[in-house]
Amino acid sequence: MDIQFQEAQAAEGQAGVLLVPLFQGEDAAPAVRALGRGASWLTGHMGLEDFRAEAGKLLLLHGGRKGSVRVLLAGLGRREDFTPKVLGMAMAAAAKRLSGHKLARPALRLESLRALRLAGRGMREHLLEEAVLGARLGLYAHTACKSAAEGEDAPFLPERMDLLYTRPPSAEEQRALRRALSLAEGICLARDLINGPANQVTPRYLEETAAALAGRHGFGFRSHDQEYLRANGLNAFLAVSLGAAAEPRLLVLEYAPPGTKGEDPVILLGKGITFDSGGISLKPAAGMERMKSDMAGAGAVLGLFAALGAGAKDFCRKRVIGLLPCTENMPGGRASRPGDVVKTLSGKTVEIVNTDAEGRLILCDCLTLAQNMARPAALIDIATLTGACVVGLGEKTAGLFSNDPRLRDKLLELAARNGERFWPMPIWDEDLKTLTEKSAADISNTGPREGGASFAALFLKQFVDKTTPWAHLDIAGPAFQSLETPTLPGGGAVGFGLRTLLDFVLE
């Protein structure tokens, strides 16, 4: 759905329906006045008086005569409970309702957002961004593998949504629209990749996706194969790939705005296990089909570059590198065994106690590689790394580990602002002996079950220089959801973490 600003007087008559957000228990008169003369019939309407405006509730009203514009009321709940994310959810639910009613060309007046009377620096732009992003995500569907039933019409999707104004949008509002559309582009790509079946979304497929992004938007791009891993000493990464028929790929994307080529980059490292069987340490069969989502970290980084290419790069003044280790983790005659020892790119040796702790193996080599490539201004890895993090924090919250308090606090601040839930988690250096003392190598790739997410982060920390600002985002819980929400129709891949990372590189 295309979303763009339109002057109200010129476009109002073309609108099929006006979207009107309302707070619960408050006078609706300011919202009605904001609609202008086109919806004057709404004044005193019984439906308006009966609508309670609870969060997520919708009510479609008709003017009663042919040609009069429809109005879709969207409840925001109580003002004291409101966050901008509530507006995004309301707009997503509204977009879905319009699709079901086959109502084309919805419109939202900027005055309707202003009529909410929410104070705060940048609030107006934030509300606009949430409304646009919600409307786009509310129409997301992953249908690439579905066949249309005979005689069944394709799902109706509004082709366009107008943002009506009587006073031209400010530069900040124009920026908010472009950010929201760019972000929607990135999230939808990430969701498509993560939702895609593992026999289609292979390391080679991710390579083709990255190459297409680079070609379309002028990013730097390199792809390395299994021979490169072997020749250059990325033996921990190589060990994970040995049981798979699909060859691994190490992908590098780079965005360097003019004048930044020599600057220290932000490096984003995304775990790209396109299917995780657990290897020889085989996972239980129940739920294993969801292991196609074990590349959600790589999907988020690719989605971020898609967002940059779709327009967000106009606001980005930082050099950004995406590093994506992509492979399957499969059992087989060539697969790594529990008890094997490999020498990592850093020179440290690792005992592979459990082949299902494979994510930290591909990441540890790439953490070293990232620091060899450049001195990172910030090095952030994002990975569906541990079930222990899900046990500790639940399915909607990601763990955030870091060696740098300023980097940690900035990421938490950005996540809180955009509604992605992260929780700061500890790394206890004094526990390192648990991974080293009884190992046949310098370090084991797993520790005890208790505190498993922290031990995984502690393992990764051994491959990060003390002077490198580093953060590890364990998104195993929120990356893939079984329950649907207005902005996640049907459940499945979320594209989690992309928004926080994009905000970080833009700031």
Nearest-angstrom CA–CA distance, 70 and 368: 58
Bridge-based pairing state of the strands 422-424 and 70-75: unpaired
Nearest-angstrom CA–CA distance, 374 and 378: 11
Nearest to 6 by CA among 178, 131, 160, 124: 160
HSE (CB half, 13 Å, CA atoms) of 126? 17
Q: Are 478 and 395 in contact (CB under 8 A)?
A: yes
Active site residue 283: yes
Q: Which of 191, 292, 318, 360 is catalytic?
A: 360
Nearest-angstrom CA–CA distance, 398 and 419: 12
Nearest to 329 by CA among 270, 373, 276: 276
**One-character DSSP codes across 373-421:** H---SEEEEEE---HHHHHHH-TT-EEEEES-HHHHHHHHHHHHHHT--
Find how far residue 459's CA is from the centre of its chain.
25
Nearest-angstrom CA–CA distance, 98 and 17: 9
Nearest-angstrom CA–CA distance, 192 and 187: 9
Q: Are 31 and 20 in contact (CB under 8 A)?
A: yes
Bridge-based pairing state of the strands 320-329 and 266-270: parallel
Nearest-angstrom CA–CA distance, 463 and 368: 6
Sign of CA dihedral 205, 210, 212, 213: positive
Quick one: residue 340, left, alpha or beta (phi over 0 = left, psi -120 to 50 = alpha)? beta
How crowded is residue 133: how many other Cβ atoms within 10 Å of its Cβ? 28
Q: Which of 57, 105, 283, 375 is catalytic?
A: 283
Active site residue 360: yes
- Phi first, then psi, for residue 184 (nearest 5°) are -60, -40
Helix residue spans in 242-279 (DSSP H): none
Cite the active site residues. Answer: 283, 360
